[in-house]
Amino acid sequence: MDINLTQGALSSGIQNVKIDNGVHNHYPHVYKHLIKTHIGSITFNPNQLRLVVETIAKNYDEIEQYPKDFSGISIESKNSINNLSQSFYDQIIARDYEPYFNELDIFFRERTSDDLQLMIGKIAKSLNKQIQADTDSFRSFELLLTSVESALLDDQFVYLEDKEDSIALFLYYLYANCFIGRKTKEELTC
């Protein structure tokens, strides 16, 4: 569409402006399905995240039967560079969720042919990109993670009611396994 703009009585000239009224679908219809956290501008697709959480929730009791000692990189260094308090990690993540990370990892690997693997990869890339771009909006990384959890629950409450543990397990798993958040030097070399 061409539009002619006249610049007023004292100035002479006409400016032609082309406006593209075409549809801009980088990802067809995806933008209308995104939600934003309440504090920062972390935006994500709640439908994809809900599907993964529902899959975890269906198998949560089975995963919870096999707690393991989960150790790897220096979690203290990771927490420090991501501004996640060590007390939150020790009292919440390590005590209540970390023992099940290994079983969750096995659970995901067993579903390599499922769309679940692809969805997890998309979620991790999308969340990590948003997190890297907007960590300054959050006082701490635990506030960022709980904000994502709250936004997901607000948007998908009908489907995810009583699945808060599965949401937290998945988000903390993504963090502890270096899918989201800043990476330590050891993680970058992996």
Look up residue 39 and give its two tokens. Answer: 């504090």
pLDDT above 50: residue 70: no
Which DSSP string do the residues of 140-190 spell out, in sequence order? SHHHHHHHHHHHHHHHHHHHHTT-HHHHHHHHHHHHHTTSSSPPPHHHHH-
Q: Determine the pLDDT at residue 99.
A: 93
* Mean pLDDT of the region 127-141: 83
pLDDT above 50: residue 27: no
Q: Determine the pLDDT at residue 87.
A: 96
Write out pLDDT tens, residues 143-176. 999 998 999 998 889 988 999 999 999 999 999 9
Other CB atoms within a 10 A radius of the CB of residue 98 amount to: 22
pLDDT above 60: residue 20: no
Choice between 178 and 39, residue whose per-residue pLDDT is larger: 178
Query: pLDDT-derived band of residue 21, with 50, 70 and 90 as boundaries?
Result: very low
Task: Please tell me which of 50-54, 58-62, 144-148 the model is most confident about, judged by mean pLDDT.
Answer: 144-148
Look up residue 93 and give its two tokens. Answer: 């993540």
pLDDT above 90: residue 56: no
- Write down the pTM of the prediction: 0.68
List % helix, strand, coil for the chain (3-state, nearest 5). 60, 5, 35
Q: For the chain, which residues make up each domain, given as ranges? A: 28-189
- Identify the helix (H) or strand (E) that includes residue 48: helix 46-58
Write out pLDDT tens, residues 72-118. 568 899 999 999 999 999 999 999 999 999 989 888 888 766 678 88
Query: pLDDT-derived band of residue 55, with 50, 70 and 90 as boundaries?
Result: confident
